[in-house]
């Protein structure tokens, strides 16, 4: 019986261990994928540090991954958009599985609100069938309910994984607030994968000017390369007042502010940067860090619209692939992958990502 090397997370803060699992037999609708790259998301170190409650350890981490179809059930002839697929094709699969029979799934038709949603690399114990349920693994076993999309030959695996799950998160945020129109001014708070993906979306949509407020310098440099007209380093301008002043002097209040920081204090700062009749897309602060002082009068007096957005759906990942097919010649997102680790080096990967040493780190099981 064929085997797969996997990296197992068992206990907080302990080095991850490489193990070998049997590969289950293929059933109706299933796909066995050979992992090409699995992104190390910024939340992975939090999982590893035990800060994410209720993970059903042992777990194989890795919820943003691309790979090649190794074996595919004979009844599954296409990807989730009806595109024919075959063994050898590069695909990007969706880690999450909505329940399909709840208020969010059926009535809202938006699975980001599914309270019974489970996700590969996160909420499946690898002790249970089908075991190969995370991207830090030589092989991944996709069950019949999985969504996945073919990546066209023109798009490198590195480009697809470069901003990981941050890119579909940004696409979904843009959907939720109606996108940008050419000529709109934008300020993005945060230069992580979500913030940089928002920059790409704003740039592709013709926004101008675009300001990114964040850190560290390596990411701000990438931001400028991707088209930010101005970057503000929060290590230089440490207090909110000075950042507000700098942004206003450079571009004034703007049509659209995007929060992609994770810090609730950023929201109060952002409200100052939105123009009258402007929009504020809030995505970063999904981990509950409690209440902070915010002045709601700004929302009223500036006739503002705010949009909260968390998670994403399969269609947003499909859009990412479409956008890369159309625009990666110019974007060259593969350059964002700065660090690459073998399965045995997964622990170092988590430490380096935690220490903000990488623009993007990936697990490459072939190393």
Token code pair at residue 118: 């489970």
- Minimum CB–partner distance for residue 292 and a copy of itself (Å): 7
- Minimum CB–partner distance for residue 339 and a copy of itself (Å): 28
- As a dihedral over the C-alpha atoms of residue 266, residue 258, residue 108, residue 178, rounded to 10 degrees, the angle is 160
- Minimum CB–partner distance for residue 182 and a copy of itself (Å): 4
d(CA 364, CA 135): 10
The smaller minimum CB distance to a copy of itself, of residues 262 and 342, is found at 262
- Minimum CB–partner distance for residue 284 and a copy of itself (Å): 8
Compute CA distances 249 → 165, 214, 245, whole Å: 33, 17, 6
Restricting to residues 81-140, which ones interact with a copy of itself according to CB under 8 A? 81-82, 100-104, 106-110, 112-113
How many residues touch a copy of itself under the rule CB under 8 A: the total is 74
The smaller minimum CB distance to a copy of itself, of residues 57 and 306, is found at 306
As a whole number of Å, the CA-based R_g of the chain is 21
Q: Is 197 in the site for a copy of itself (CB under 8 A)?
A: no
d(CA 30, CA 279): 42
- At 345, phi and psi to the nearest 5? -100, 15
Name the β-bridge partners of 279. Answer: 256, 305
Q: What is the largest CA-CA distance in the chain?
A: 67
The smaller minimum CB distance to a copy of itself, of residues 138 and 313, is found at 313
Helix (H, G, I), strand (E, B) or coil at 327: helix
Q: Is 194 in the site for a copy of itself (CB under 8 A)?
A: no
- Minimum CB–partner distance for residue 309 and a copy of itself (Å): 6
Restricting to residues 300-319, which ones interact with a copy of itself according to CB under 8 A? 300-310, 313-315, 318-319
Calculate ∠ Cα 146-148-152, nearest 5°: 170
Choose, by CB under 8 A, the member of 1, 53, 297, 355 that binds a copy of itself. 297
Question: What secondary structure does DSSP assign to 109-139, as a single string?
Answer: --GGG-TT-EETTTS--TTSTT---SSSBSE
Q: Is 252 in the site for a copy of itself (CB under 8 A)?
A: no
Please state whether 29 falls in left (phi above 0), alpha (psi between -120 and 50) or beta.
left
Choose, by CB under 8 A, the member of 141, 174, 312, 341 that binds a copy of itself. 174
Restricting to residues 208-247, which ones interact with a copy of itself according to CB under 8 A? 208-209
Choose, by CB under 8 A, the member of 258, 283, 350, 358 that binds a copy of itself. 283
3-state helix/strand/coil string of 19-75: EEEECCCCCCCCEEEEEEEEECCCCHHHHHCCCCCCCCCCECCCCCEEEEEEEECCC
> Hey, CA dihedral for 259, 191, 152, 62, is it positive or negative?
negative
Q: Is 181 in the site for a copy of itself (CB under 8 A)?
A: yes
Quick one: which segment of 37-45, 230-238, 262-270, 358-366 binds a copy of itself (CB under 8 A)?
262-270
Choose, by CB under 8 A, the member of 127, 326, 356, 367 that binds a copy of itself. 326
- Minimum CB–partner distance for residue 161 and a copy of itself (Å): 19
Pairing mode, strands 31-39 and 139-142:
antiparallel
Q: Is 159 in the site for a copy of itself (CB under 8 A)?
A: no
Question: What secondary structure does DSSP assign to 160-175, as a single string?
Answer: HHTTTTHHHHHHHHHH
The smaller minimum CB distance to a copy of itself, of residues 4 and 261, is found at 261
Quick one: which segment of 134-142, 279-287, 332-340, 341-349 binds a copy of itself (CB under 8 A)?
279-287
Choose, by CB under 8 A, the member of 131, 264, 341, 346 that binds a copy of itself. 264
- Minimum CB–partner distance for residue 207 and a copy of itself (Å): 9
């Amino acid at each position: 019986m064929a085997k797969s090397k996997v990296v197992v997370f068992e206990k907080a803060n302990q080095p991850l261990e490489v193990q070998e699992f049997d590969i289950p037999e293929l059933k109706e609708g299933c796909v066995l994928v050979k992992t090409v790259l699995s992104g190390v998301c910024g939340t992975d170190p939090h999982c590893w540090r035990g800060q994410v409650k209720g993970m059903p350890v042992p777990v194989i981490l890795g919820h943003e991954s691309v790979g090649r179809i190794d074996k595919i059930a004979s009844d599954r002839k296409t990807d989730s958009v009806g595109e024919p697929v075959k063994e050898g094709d590069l695909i990007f699969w969706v880690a999450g599985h909505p329940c399909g029979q709840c208020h969010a799934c059926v009535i809202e038709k938006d699975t980001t609100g599914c309270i019974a949603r489970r996700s590969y690399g996160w909420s499946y114990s690898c002790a249970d069938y089908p075991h190969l349920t995370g991207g830090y693994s030589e092989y991944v076993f996709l069950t019949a309910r999985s969504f996945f999309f073919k990546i066209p030959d023109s798009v490198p695996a590195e480009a697809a994984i470069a901003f990981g799950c941050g890119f579909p998160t940004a696409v979904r945020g843009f959907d939720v607030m109606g996108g940008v129109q050419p000529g709109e001014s934008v300020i993005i708070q945060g230069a992580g994968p979500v913030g940089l993906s928002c920059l790409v979306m704003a740039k592709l949509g013709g926004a101008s000017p675009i300001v990114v407020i964040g850190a560290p310098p390596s990411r701000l440099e990438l931001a400028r390369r991707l088209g930010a007209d101005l970057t503000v380093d929060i290590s230089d301008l440490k207090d909110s007042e000075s950042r507000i002043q700098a942004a206003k002097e450079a571009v004034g209040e703007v049509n659209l502010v995007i929060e992609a920081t994770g810090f609730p204090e950023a929201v109060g700062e952002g409200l100052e940067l939105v123009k009258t009749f402007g929009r504020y897309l809030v995505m970063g602060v999904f981990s509950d860090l409690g209440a902070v002082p915010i002045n709601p009068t700004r929302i009223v007096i500036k006739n503002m619209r705010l949009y909260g957005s968390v998670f994403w759906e399969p269609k947003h990942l499909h859009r990412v692939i479409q956008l890369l097919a159309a625009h990666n010649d110019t974007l060259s997102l593969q350059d964002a992958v700065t660090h690459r680790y073998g399965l045995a080096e997964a622990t170092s990967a988590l430490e380096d990502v935690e220490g903000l040493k990488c623009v993007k780190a990936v697990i490459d099981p072939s190393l």
